[in-house]
Amino acid sequence: MSRRRQIYEGKAKILYEGPEPGTIIQYFKDDATAFNAQKKGTINGKGVINNRISEFVFTRLSHIGIPTHFIRRLNMREQLVRQCEIIPIEVVVRNVAAGSLSKRLGLEEGEALPHTLVEYYYKDDALGDPLIAEEHIACFGWASNEEMQDIAAMAIRVNDFLVGMFAAVGIRLVDFKLEFGRLWDGDYARVILADEISPDGCRLWDMVTGEKLDKDRFRRDLGGEEDAYQEVARRLGVLQEDGPSEVADLSHHRKLRGKN
């Protein structure tokens, strides 16, 4: 498929005009950022892995009735998605104390929460994606009451599914970020799951060792980011369909970079 006009470039993806009206091509980059892009780097092969993991997750979520923007994967780094109006709210679902929650409330990292916690953040890098309440969302009209009910219900349902999916391969889902969009049909809009679900936006710990298998390895200068992302993909089995070509591509990147 020939590449179309670029629409937008973000921290981890580039969006291009799709082949048909109402579609977008989503390209996954190897760029890595943390702390609202204050820290920048590269995780070789990350785009390939995230493309496949996100395809895997979104496909299975659609099987349980979660509406998503995902249509199909196009190649190693691109997927075709439905064009939607992104709601400017990041939804963070937490099962275990970690990251900013631990810092804000003085909780020990790794402490299981009494129940699943859903938080909302205003999507604005310049402001540091501040934590907001549902009252802020209603006050400033970022989403309607009905939309927030749909978002909250979908977030909990996605969490229930992902907790089981990752546990089945020995991974503890600590927390993760979701984004939602509006898909318009005339004057009517429905809420759908958008963006991606990958180790970039999830905290994933090995259930036995507690080893971090996500972007925290980059945030905290732990090293081994490429191996961690590949391990998640290997456990989910998402690199097997195309044979050894994708793994070889990642290995080639690693050889060029050399061992740390």
Residue 252: band (very low, low, confident or very high) from pLDDT cuts 50, 70, 90? very low
Domain 6-83+225-242 identical in fold to domain 85-206: no
pLDDT at 240: 62
Predicted confidence (pLDDT) at residue 42 exceeds the cutoff of 80 = yes
pLDDT at 239: 78
Q: Which residue has the higher pLDDT, 38 or 156?
A: 156
Instruction: Average the pLDDT over 9-27 and give the result.
Output: 95
What six digits make up the tokens of 59?
């496909």
Q: Mean of the per-residue pLDDT values for the chain?
A: 91
Nearest in space to 46 (alpha carbons), one of 240, 243, 228, 194: 228
Q: Whole-angstrom Cα distance, residue 177 to residue 120?
A: 10
pLDDT at 241: 47
Domain boundaries defined on the chain: 6-83+225-242, 85-206
Q: Whole-angstrom Cα distance, residue 50 to residue 26?
A: 11
What is the topology classification, in CATH, of domain 85-206? D-amino Acid Aminotransferase; Chain A, domain 1 (3.30.470)
Residue type, 75: N
Contacts by residues 156-165 (CB-CB < 8 Å, ≥ 24 positions apart) = 156/93, 156/116, 156/118, 157/64, 157/66, 158/61, 158/66, 158/93, 158/193, 159/93, 159/95, 159/116, 161/60, 161/61, 161/64, 161/66, 162/57, 162/197, 162/202, 163/95, 165/57, 165/60
End-to-end CA distance of the chain: give it in Å, rounded: 37
pLDDT at 129: 95
pLDDT at 243: 42
Write the pLDDT tens digit of every residue in 168-195.
Answer: 999 999 999 999 999 998 889 999 999 9
Nearest in space to 89 (alpha carbons), one of 122, 137, 117: 122
Q: Burial-class residue 157 by CB neighbours within 10 Å (0-12, 13-18, 19+).
A: middle
SS3 75: coil
Q: Whole-angstrom Cα distance, residue 56 to residue 62?
A: 10
Write the pLDDT tens digit of every residue in 125-134.
Answer: 899 999 999 9
Write the pLDDT tens digit of every residue in 48-72.
Answer: 999 999 999 999 999 999 999 999 9
Cβ contact 15:26 at 8 Å: yes
pLDDT at 150: 98
Write the pLDDT tens digit of every residue in 100-152.
Answer: 999 999 999 999 999 999 999 999 989 999 999 999 999 999 999 999 999 99
pLDDT at 34: 84
Q: Whole-angstrom Cα distance, residue 160 to residue 116?
A: 10
What six digits make up the tokens of 176?
């993760």
Of 1.10.10.10, 3.40.640.10, 3.30.200.20, 3.30.390.10, which CATH number belongs to 6-83+225-242? 3.30.200.20
Q: Where are the beta strands (DSSP E) in 35-143?
A: 39-42, 70-73, 78-82, 85-96, 112-122, 131-132
pLDDT at 39: 86
